[in-house]
Amino acid sequence: MNLPARSALIAWLVSVTALAATASGNAAEFPARPIRVVVPYAAGGPTDILGRLVSEFLGRDLGQAAFVENRPGAQGAIGAETVARADADGYTLLVVAGSMIVQNPLLYKKLSYDPVRDFRVLALITEVPVVMEVHPSVPARTVAEFVAYAKQNPGKLSFGSAGTGGTIHLAGEMFKQMAGIEMTHVPYKGAGPALTDLLAGNIQLMFDSLGTALPPVRSGMLRALGVSSARRSSDLPDVPTIAESGYPDYLVSVWFGVVAPAGVPDNVAQILEGSLDRAMNDEAFRASLEKIGYSVLRPRSRAAITEFIDADRARWSAVIKSQNISLD
């Protein structure tokens, strides 16, 4: 090899080595600046509380500041779009409700984001069952008694929800379908107004998230007939699951996770996934979420996360198609 060629080869090797070292150094340095955790709902709600607990743990665990940015609106779509368009460098994350990943793409004809194309799911953090609760005027103390009463009074019972297409609406539609009963859905602008009307007896039934259902059920203002989880809730140990009440395929949960833009480098994603896994195994983190009625999940592999989401998508797709539910 002549001298010019040898010099060119050496120069090339030096540049490649320098680039590799720089890339390695950048990966080792992550995170080198604050991490933004986008919460797609207003401050003060359960998703916001989860986002703040996650950001607090990430900051402490990774030795770098992490902060929450609330971007509410359009059923979470504004926050989701913000993160979908962010740089895929690991410095912008999104706390998602399962409805944003699973139900919204099935319900909306036009959506500003594609959860499969735009996001990488880093972790499923928590899930909350829903409680099938009735006004005391309803003469039913079990799921079976309620179904019998509904069949004796077809179309006379109403169930409320926080809005068309939400999980607690679809939970009612799923139960209607499985039980073969007729009920009228009454959508409200939020779970609060729906619960108020249920307490007043203006509607007879609601499938409400556990945390919201506990106070009126424990006070005797409402009666819990069943919970939607695979196992009984430790908060309502005497209330059977709907599955054990005769509907073994009935399984509903309101779940939450953390995602990053889809193009996030594997090495950065693995750092974030590791930190989130440590959060889910941290006693203080788990205790903080359990105080607000959230059951913290155990870490799952990427394959297990995909399997969970695919099963949830298939479940809700069947309900939405059979009931012909769609949103603009």
Over residues 49-99, the pLDDT tens digits come to 899 999 999 999 999 999 999 998 877 889 999 999 999 999 999 999 888
Give pLDDT, residue 55: 97
Note the pLDDT of residue 72: 86
- Predicted confidence at residue 225, as pLDDT, reads 98
CA 218/CA 189 separation, integer angstroms: 25
Q: Say whether pLDDT at 131 is over 80.
A: yes
Question: Of all helices (H) and strands (E), which one includes residue 31?
Answer: none
d(CA 188, CA 320): 19
For the segment 154-168, the average pLDDT, to the nearest whole number, is 88
**CA 64 to CA 32: how far, in whole Å?**
7
29: its two tokens: 């340095």
Instruction: Reply yes or no: is the peptide bond before residue 216 cis, omega within 30 of 0.
Output: no
Residue in the structure block whose two tokens are 């809730």: 233
Q: Is the pLDDT of residue 5 over 70?
A: no
Tell me the C-alpha distance between 35 and 109, whole Å: 33
Which pLDDT does position 43 carry in this prediction? 83
Q: Could you tell me the end-to-end alpha-carbon distance of the chain, in angstroms, rounded to an integer?
A: 69
pLDDT average, residue stretch 16-26: 42
Is residue 16's pLDDT more than 60? no
Per-residue pLDDT at 2: 54
Give pLDDT tens digits for 164-209: 888 889 999 999 999 999 999 998 877 888 999 999 999 999 999 8
